[in-house]
């Protein structure tokens, strides 16, 4: 499979040749831990499944092809992937990152790696002067998420990667929300792309996984060293599930984007909705960079209801098509209230300061019929007394 093929074709075929012996189209689940050697140390590419497994090899090649990258590595979770990026750093190194990164990323940085003498500065990464100010002589990594959660702020990867490189630092981009179908950070100069495969790439809320993709052979070798040394590797069954998911990524994403846009427009016209956060809307503060960097605007949106915490809680509890749950990126629509769920650990004053109101509701817009999604939200608004 060459990189000249379109992403829809690569999603289905990259990394997956029919089995030479049997002609089986799908990569088998190689459920084994060890491999016969022809002589001591003389093996056929595989010796032990933490180090390498054929199902994982096909998934890694598929993910690399989707990101237009050369090397992919799969992990047992998105956090396993992020941990591996931290492993690349040395004690005394400094990292600059967004003040609205995923909570688990914030937690591993501050509660795990600060005690190993890594230093972190959290800034608004849409403010490039603030990022430049935060860079230090010992800054080795700029960690960027885009779009961010839950306000869907889009960060300018090209500008941020250039800033990182001016300081000889690596730029890593968490591309979980956008997916490679909508945005490919390596094309904008990023050094590493990180994924929670749990979300859109798996796509069916039935597997937890992570990945790192790069174009740099030496960097990939280092990532591979830590992947094998730390051992947060995915099972062959999980790799199979993600491979099954990536085949339909383009068609799923088209519908996610179409539904999210329609819902965002409906919400924007609703009298009780103060603000809609969807990068595809002209009213979104980072709409302009989203139009140049992304091929479409994704399936995630948030909105501010003119409502109390209790009323917003009633809305998310009353929906029937939208399921009240954390996580995102599956075919089914999910709804949640960040102030009471995903972002509850942030103190109320801090939440308010970063624009995260009590009435904020986040939706992972699925691929059901959009009329049913709108009718469901409308009925939940009515049930909560929001008109």
Instruction: Please report, as ranges, the residues that interact with ligand PLP according to CB under 6 A.
Output: 77-79, 102, 104, 145, 149, 174, 176-177, 196, 198, 208, 210
Give the residue with the Cβ less far from ligand PLP, 7 or 82. Answer: 82
CB of residue 336 to ligand PLP, shortest distance in Å: 11
> Residue written as tokens 């999980």?
238
Helix (H, G, I), strand (E, B) or coil at 110: helix
The residue written with tokens 């509850």 in the block is 344
Contact assessment for residue 286 and residue 153, using Cβ atoms and an 8 Å cutoff: yes
Our measurement of the distance from residue 49's CA atom to the centroid of its chain's CA atoms, rounded to an integer in Å, reads 26
Q: Which is nearer to ligand PLP, 345 or 383 (CB)?
A: 345
CB of 324 to ligand PLP, least distance (A): 16
Contacts of 232 (CB under 8 A, 6+ apart): 75, 76, 77, 80, 83, 84, 210
Q: Minimum Å distance from CB 78 to ligand PLP?
A: 2
**For residue 43, with 0-12 CB atoms within 10 Å meaning exposed, 13-18 middle and 19 or more buried, which class applies?**
middle
* Structure tokens that stand for 215 in this block: 């174009």
**Which lies closer to ligand PLP via its Cβ, residue 196 or residue 272?**
196
Residue placing its CB nearer to ligand PLP in the complex, 53 or 205:
205
Q: Which residues pair with 195 in a beta bridge?
A: 211
Cβ 202 to ligand PLP shortest distance, Å:
9
With H, G, I as helix, E, B as strand and everything else as coil, classify residue 57. helix
Q: Whose Cβ is closer to ligand PLP: residue 79's or residue 315's?
A: 79
Least distance from ligand PLP to the Cβ atom of residue 209, Å? 6
CA atoms of 171 and 160, how far apart (whole Å) = 8
| Per-residue exposure over 353-370, b if at least 16 CB sit within 10 Å of its own CB, e if not | eeebbbbbbbbbbbbbeb
Closest contact distance (angstroms) between CB of 207 and ligand PLP is 9
Active-site amino acid positions: 50, 102, 174, 199
Question: Hey, which residues does 304 pair with through a beta bridge?
Answer: 275, 360
Q: Six-digit token pair at 26?
A: 């799908």
Residue nearest to ligand PLP (CB): 78
Q: Which is nearer to ligand PLP, 190 or 273 (CB)?
A: 190
Question: In angstroms, rounded to a whole number, what is the distance separating the alpha carbons of residues 142 and 12?
Answer: 32
């Amino acid at each position: 499979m060459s990189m000249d093929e379109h992403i829809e074709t690569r999603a289905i075929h990259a990394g997956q040749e029919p089995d030479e012996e049997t002609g089986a189209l799908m990569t088998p689940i190689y459920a084994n831990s060890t491999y016969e050697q022809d002589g001591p140390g003389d093996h056929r590419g595989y010796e032990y499944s933490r180090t390498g497994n054929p199902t994982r090899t096909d998934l890694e090649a598929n993910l690399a092809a989707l990101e237009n990258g050369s090397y992919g590595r799969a992990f047992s979770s998105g956090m396993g992937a992020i941990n591996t990026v931290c492993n690349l750093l040395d004690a005394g190194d400094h990292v600059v990152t967004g003040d609205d990164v995923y909570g688990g990323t914030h937690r591993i940085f501050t509660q795990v790696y600060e005690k190993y003498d890594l230093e972190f500065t959290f800034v608004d990464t849409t403010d490039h002067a603030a990022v430049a100010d935060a860079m230090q002589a010992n800054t080795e990594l700029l960690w960027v998420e885009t779009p961010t959660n839950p306000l869907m702020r889009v960060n300018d990867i090209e500008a941020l990667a250039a800033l990182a490189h001016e300081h000889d630092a690596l730029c890593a981009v968490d591309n979980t929300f956008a997916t490679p179908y909508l945005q490919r950070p390596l094309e904008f100069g990023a050094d590493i792309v990180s994924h929670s495969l749990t979300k859109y790439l798996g796509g069916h809320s039935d597997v937890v996984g992570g990945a790192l993709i790069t174009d740099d052979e030496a960097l990939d070798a280092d990532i591979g060293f830590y992947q094998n040394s730390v051992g947060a590797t995915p099972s062959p069954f999980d790799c199979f599930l993600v491979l099954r998911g990536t085949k339909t990524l383009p068609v799923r994403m088209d519908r996610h984007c179409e539904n999210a846009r329609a819902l965002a427009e409906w919400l924007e016209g609703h009298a009780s909705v103060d603000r809609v956060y969807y990068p595809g809307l002209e009213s979104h503060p980072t709409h302009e960079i989203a139009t140049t960097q992304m091929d479409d605007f994704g399936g995630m949106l948030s909105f501010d209801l003119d409502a109390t915490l209790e009323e917003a809680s009633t809305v998310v509890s009353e929906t029937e098509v939208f399921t009240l749950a954390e996580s995102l990126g599956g075919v089914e629509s999910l709804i949640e209230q960040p102030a009471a769920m995903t972002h509850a650990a942030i103190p109320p004053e801090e939440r308010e300061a970063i624009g995260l109101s009590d009435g904020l509701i986040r939706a992972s817009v699925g691929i059901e019929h959009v009329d049913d999604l709108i009718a469901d939200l409308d009925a939940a608004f009515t049930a909560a007394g929001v008109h």
